[in-house]
Chain A
Amino acid sequence: MKTYIDKTAYKYFVLCFSWFLALGCTSDLDDIDTNNINANNAFQTNEDYLAFLGKLYGGLSLTGQQGPAGQGDLIGFDEGASNYARNYWNLNEFTADALKWRFSDSGFRELHENTWTPDNDVISAMYNRIIFQVTQANEFIRQVQGLDDAEIATFRAEGRFLRALSYYHGLELFGGNIPFVTEEDLPGAFLPEQTNGADLFAYIESELLAIENELLDPGQPQFYGRADRGAAWTLLAKLYLNAEAFIGQNRYADCVSVCENILGAGYQLDPEYGALFRADNNLAEGIIFPIPHDGVETQSFGLGFILTNGSVSSDLSADLGLTGNAQAFAAISCREEFTRLYEYPNDDPFDDSPDSRAAFLYKIGHSIEVPVPPVGSAFTDGFAYTKFRNMLTDGSSGQDDRQADMDFPLFRLADVYLMYAEAVLRGGGGSEALALDLVNQVRQRAYGDSSGDVTTIDLQFILDERGRELSWEGQRRTDLVRFGQYTGSNYLWDWKGGAPQGSSIENFRNIFPLPASDLTANPNLEQNPGY
């Protein structure tokens, strides 16, 4: 018995020993369960490609792979504060004359006082968001390259549109002097080359023209949320309208012509201005390209959340009977210059304006002016403004009491009307009569009748009308830059440059600096002049 056991044990021992030493279980080193999907089996069907395309859209509204926060896209930022649309909005609104955010989140004070530096976290977050979109889009384009399928071809065109959109924001905010990578550049550890405004402009234009016919036809409700030809045209219109400000080229005629495409595409103004900013604005007319939110499916602490919750306090909310904004954190209120853009009897903003767009101003307990520096001021310093609401047009509440259903209208028809009028006024050709008529259509909606109609328009009027119509929609800084009223002392608003009555700021501040962190990481980059 004993011998038997010994022999058997010995035999097994020898077997085990040689097996372990020779083979081990090295295949287990590759056979790992994870949440992730390996690249080589991620894409089986068109739905899988749509999911990746969905990430490119979600890159504008979401902050990570879990709502409202979790598995963030960017590392090192507060996840909610890393949201694309929110930072785009922050950079274009905090730095201008329409509104202020009273809390001192990192970098906010410097934005409000126009003293930002390359260390600014908001600038850094926006820059990284832009590049994140571009690199994800590049990966998407690589994945769908060479696939022979009509639906995939549309997806690919949308991917290229979204990349062009982010590059456009790089042009708008950073003068185009950003790292430039395309689907040719595989992910790795290289140092991307820096491009410049003119080259990037040309690239964006060529991309948009190249995909124009591959995109979905404009304005089809069943594809709401996706970028169609109308979206590409609107982006082109913005590119052309700003060409002079961005790269010193006069492209107003191109702007007129592409706006005409949009005017002929069947879009209509929604008769109700407020319907554009409600929880059910996916049903509103005249939204060309939205950033969709959903209280249940698409949650983040991004732009939809902060507009609907941050612009109200809980007592204001209770007073007006607003719902769907239970996080009411009373951060954003109006600057005096914005309040005064609207028409008031006796010029007294405490009186009711005939312009229904001013009806969203909330005045009880608030002052008109901001008597102390914006960051650190009270919510009641300056009127509140409740245009963005997480409520349906019928007055019922959005699905969630904090997370917005309200989509952010990034491109909309009234903007195109005003761009057309402006391009005509700037000598782009087109019809002056049509320009006047389009402006009056926008105003008739605001006034409810023709009492607000104008008979002549000039550029200053267009700027002011944009301020009234596109209020708090993330357009203000770029508009002021285009009109030459942002830097210098042509136009001083309170607290511009940090001074109570406003002070001149230097021209280099028409664009933002590249973040210091990327200058350190990439020696190919040269800082924007002045910083």
Chain B
Amino acid sequence: MRYIRKLVFLLLLAVPLAMFSQNVVTGTVTDKTFNEPLLGASIVVKGTTIGTTTDFDGNYSIEAENGQILVFSYIGYKAQEIEVTTKVLNVVLEEDTNQLDEVVIIGYGTTTKKDATGSVIGVTEEELNQGFIAAPQDLLVGKAAGVQITTSGGAPGSGSQIRIRGGSSLDASNDPLIIIDGVPLDNGTNSGSRNIFDFINPSDISSFTVLKDASATAIYGSRASNGVIIVTTKKGVSGELKFTFNSSASIQTVKETVDVLSPGQFRTLIEERLPGRVGDLGTANTNWQDQIFTTAMGTDNNLSVRGGVFGIPFRASLGYTQQDGILRTEALERTTGAISLTPRLFDDKLRIEINARGSYTENNFADLGAIGSAIGFDPTQPVFDETLPGGFFDYYEADGTPTTNTLNNPLALLELRDNRANTRRLVGNIKLDYQLPFFEDITATLNLGLDRLNSDGVDIRPGTLAAEAVNLGTFVNFGQDETNELLDFYVKYASELEKINARFDLTGGYSYQNFYEEEFTTTTRGDGVGGTNTVTNIFENNLQSYFGRANFTLNDKYLFTFTFRRDGSSRFGGDNRWGNFPAAAFAWNISDEKLFEDFSSLSNLKLRLGWGITGQQDVLQGNDTQPFLPQFAPSQVGANVQIGQDENGNPIFTQTLRAQPFDANIKWEETTTYNIGLDFGFFNNRLSGALELYYRETDDLLSTVNVAAGSNLTNRLPTNIGSLTNQGVELFLDAAIFQNEEFSWDLGFNYAYNINEVDRLFVTGNDAGAGIPVAETQLIGIGGDDGAQYHIVGEPTRSYFAFVQVYDENGNPIEGVVLDLNGDGEINDQDRRPFQQSAPLVNIGLNSRFNWKAWDFSFSMRAVLGNYNYNGVELLNGNFRNLNIGQDLRNLATPVLNTGFQTDRNELIFSDYFVRDASFVRMDNMSLGYTFKDLFNSNLRMRVFSTLQNVFVITDYNGLDPEVENGIDNNVFPRPFITQFGLSLDF
């Protein structure tokens, strides 16, 4: 079972190829309303796999014999069947005002918009964001109600945080499950790339489907609590070969940097405050942030071809992306290739889908420490000093050893360090749908998937870097090898009960997944001390499931869905190994009731009710992949212990074994979701949308919390500790405001409001009192297990836990003076209180698209409201103590001139002064294009376009950028402003 990949390749070889040969029929397909040719309409010879699509002028050509029937179809239009009688067949298709036959992808199957019972949003190709998109998930930013996507920063191709309806977990992962062509991805990160989507070329994506409520997601069971995103890639269509070529170039520029003191201001400040150190000032005037940031260029080229070869529809694509970062030395280079084959055999009874996708990515990682260094580095020092090793200025003692406890030259950190990785990835699947010969109502599906990743990299820090001088350099090799295997097998039985005008289908199946990962890091020092140290880690987990679904439709109006999944995970043991995840939904096509026949403006009205239970199996603890088992961890390099010595006094060491903590009773998180949805459409669905209300409760929340000292084998343990709720409202509207031959205007709007509250927190059976600090919100330089954010009962997760700052009559904060809230005469943690939340309350997206003659213009913008950031940049750089905290002199952020903060005492660190409203409106994307048709009197069609990204941000937040993952603003890779020009050729 571990070697599903072998099976995949065998099957690949075994697929027989068939050939067909007939006469040629040609013609044009046009639209009835506008009398415009339809591009990409599909023509299939009925009862065969022979098919083609129209070109840009609506022309097609297909091989068919007289008497055969051609089926002409196009999304959003009524299909027509025409018998072949002549060699030329021109067809006019009529718009289907009822778009409810549109196919909607769901877990282990498809349904139609009309039959869907869950909260499912599909975002198709033409609705996705335009322009230079290095990371696939950016296509979806602002497009779907309740889906919030926050990029990690300005690095090219950087990852993003995706949240669907907030997050249903505390400290376990809140990432949705992502499925590409039926293969669920492992949400782990890897050392060689920047994001889990890295391997996929954005232009290969045909659609995203977001499953939000439990009635839609529960069939994915234990990984579905945070929603599911199904990505479908483009597939081939039979017919002659069609090519698409896209090419674009982009320029990224820095919008803003952190305001720090100018060299002049800095000199004056040192003269005033540290007169004894004036001699340490340099004579240069250096803007360090200007030194490290630059204007970056990028190019993106894609070529794709689709058509039929030997009767097999296929699509292949090749892409090359090259993008430098605005931080010097940061760069991404990616080559992707994809092929998709969709043959049908045995009278269409066996439908095969083969997808293979490979990528080769080269990443150059800049030393992000250079950003903090550039903020603080003495602006009176020069960039270069030819007399020093490496040629850059840095602090050295008279004897040539580097001065310790100083910042390092930021440009030297970038230019001298060489940190890069190459990642190879192959994701493929073979899906066989087989309609059983003796039971035609039954279809069996086998889906075999494989996800292989291999990366290797180096991190070379030469001895010319001041921080490495004493080691004579440090050389690190690292690598990773991942193999994830999937086998899904399911059977669907569909039938009708004509007597009661009912349809039903039943699906049942089994799924097997295994995730295996090995990683290593090898470190060698230039001076040879310690030899070559290798640290290796292995992570594996296994997940197996049985699942089923029953759909029942009565009178085409009343729809019932029941799903059930039973998951077994290697992460849990004993009675907790297997979990059950049921769901049920009901939908009512109200507009089909007789009552509404007279309301001609109402084209669709559907009510949906859903309930379901989903799970979360991410158990937090890095190395302990089986947290329920008693285990021992052997020590790796540098952690051995002397247990004696030989007769010459040379020490003898033993490797050590540590007893690992475990919770024999650890189990899944369980989320129960209730959802009410109302889909509506007016005026032939020119105005359509949906309103959703949901309530979601998560029990047995997993978190790593303090356990009673002495009760287990360390101080904190991942365990089940409490519950929380999310509730919210979502609205989305889609309007075709204006439509005629010359001009059209489409508008999309989405709104999501989510409020989240921690209901209970228990630690070893006790109320956790004040709450638990959020581990990763510890602030730099103060150690300890305190955090700026806490999970507190009765408050949203990740609430700030802060003192109340006291201000003077001019409104300036008084340093170290905070309210003694409990009045006990002392300032301590009892005087902190929950204050605001880091997650937004409201996300709004607004998209629009205009077409006028050959011109097109579109934009996409977002508003995010109610989110608060902790301005860590100001805390860390905004106090006078920072001037000489090390042996060097350090520059300060300009707010210090107003606040006059002297130190960084706890009263200040946890003051609400730094907690700031970070609501914002951002214009993410604006695009303008012009299309030339029939260029050079051929079929060549060309669109030229220009796109602007990150055009403007409106906010009151005083930090660099209000959009910060989880709200702690202390690592600033500014998001660039991107200008792009490109062209797209179809031929």
Which residues of A come within 8 Å of B, CB atoms? 2, 5-6, 9-10, 13, 16-17, 20-21, 24-26, 28-39, 42, 47-48, 50-55, 57-58, 61-62, 64-68, 70-71, 73-78, 81, 103-107, 109, 117, 119, 121, 124, 127-128, 131-132, 134-136, 139-140, 178-181, 185, 187-192, 221-226, 280, 282-283, 292, 294-300, 313-315, 317-318, 326-330, 376, 399-403, 516-518, 520-524
Contacts and interface: CB of A to CB of B under 8 A. Distances in A.
A29 B664 contact: no
Given A104-B903, A328-B404, A50 B643 contact: yes
A51 B634 contact: yes
B86 interface: no
Q: Most chain-B CB neighbours within 10 Å: which of A76, A119, A318, A524?
A: A76
Interface string B86-124: 000000000000000000000000000000000000000
A521 B709 contact: yes
A68 B638 contact: yes
Interface string B246-258: 0000000000000
A58 B641 contact: yes
Nearest to A283: B649
Contact of B636 (A25, A66, A136): A66
A282 to B, nearest CB: 6
B437 A132 contact: no
A221 B890 CA distance: 50
A47 B446 CA distance: 50
A401 B529 contact: yes
Contacts of A42: 631-632, 657
B437 A6 contact: yes
B623 interface: yes
Dominant secondary structure of chain B at its interface with chain A: loop
Q: Most chain-A CB neighbours within 10 Å: which of B577, B775, B785?
A: B785
Given A5-B346, A179-B710, 13 more contacts: A13-B436, A29-B544, A34-B626, A55-B656, A104-B903, A131-B710, A180-B710, A191-B764, A282-B642, A317-B401, A518-B706, A520-B706, A522-B709
Contact of B639 (A67, A185, A282): A67
Contacts of B389: none
A233 to B, nearest CB: 20
Interface string B387-405: 0000000000111011111
Contact of A520 (B398, B624, B769): B769
A74 B654 CA distance: 21
Contact of B645 (A32, A47, A65, A282): A282
Q: Which 6 residue pairs of A and B lie closest in terms of their CB atoms, listed nearest first?
A: A67-B638, A121-B784, A106-B784, A76-B785, A522-B708, A192-B710
B631 A21 contact: no
A189 B651 contact: no
A107 B786 CA distance: 11
A192 B645 CA distance: 39
A54 B654 contact: yes
B765 interface: yes
Interface string B654-670: 11111111111100000
Contacts of A81: 783-784
B542 A55 contact: no
A34 B654 contact: no
Interface in B708-736: 708-716, 719
Contacts of B763: 520-521
Interface of B: 1-2, 346, 350, 397-399, 401-405, 434, 436-438, 444, 446, 470-471, 489, 491, 508-510, 512, 514, 516, 527, 529-531, 535-542, 544, 546, 568-570, 577, 623-626, 629-647, 649, 651, 653-665, 704-716, 719, 763-766, 768-770, 773, 775, 781-786, 828-829, 881, 885, 887, 903-906
A51 B659 contact: no
A66 B783 contact: no
A513 B713 CA distance: 22
A29 B538 CA distance: 16
Given A32-B541, A66-B638, A400-B530, A518 B708 contact: yes
Given A76-B715, A117-B828, A191-B764, A134 B710 contact: yes
B21 to A, nearest CB: 20
Given A39-B632, A52-B632, A74-B714, A29 B577 contact: yes
B657 A51 contact: yes
A6 B346 contact: yes
A314 B710 contact: no
Contact of B651 (A140, A282, A314, A520): A282
Contacts of A315: 397, 403
A119 B646 contact: no
Contacts of B516: 33
A191 B643 contact: no
Given A33-B516, A292-B651, A75 B715 contact: yes
Contacts of A13: 434, 436, 444
B434 A189 contact: no
Given A33-B516, A66-B636, A104 B658 contact: no
Contacts of A30: 570
Given A51-B654, A54-B641, A190 B444 contact: no
Contact of B715 (A35, A74, A294): A74
A71 B633 contact: yes
Given A188-B712, A520-B766, A36 B623 contact: yes
B655 A51 contact: yes
Contacts of A224: 642, 644-645, 651
B784 A314 contact: no
Given A62-B639, A297-B651, A327-B404, A187 B632 contact: no
A24 B638 contact: no
Contacts of A62: 635, 639, 641, 656
A35 B714 CA distance: 18
B638 A29 contact: no
B702 to A, nearest CB: 14
A5 B660 CA distance: 54
Nearest to B403: A314
Contacts of A61: 641
14 contacts: A6-B437, A28-B570, A52-B657, A54-B655, A62-B641, A65-B636, A106-B782, A128-B715, A181-B710, A189-B719, A292-B642, A314-B401, A318-B401, A524-B708
Nearest to A316: B397
Given A17-B444, A20-B510, A65 B658 contact: yes
A463 to B, nearest CB: 33
A67 B491 CA distance: 53
Contact of A292 (B641, B662, B710): B641
Given A33-B540, A187-B711, A400-B530, A282 B649 contact: yes
Contact of B656 (A9, A21, A65, A317): A65
Contacts of B624: 34, 36
A445 B632 CA distance: 47
A367 B638 CA distance: 39
A135 B710 contact: yes
Contacts of A222: 644-647
B574 to A, nearest CB: 11
A328 B469 CA distance: 14
Contacts of A522: 708-709, 711, 764, 766
B719 to A, nearest CB: 7
Contacts of A105: 781-784
A35 B710 contact: no
Contacts of A191: 708, 711, 764-765
A53 B633 CA distance: 13
B643 A54 contact: yes
A297 B401 contact: no
Contacts of B434: 9, 13
Nearest to A402: B470
Contact of A119 (B403, B657, B828): B828
Contacts of B399: 318
A318 B508 CA distance: 75
Contacts of A192: 708-711
B529 A294 contact: no
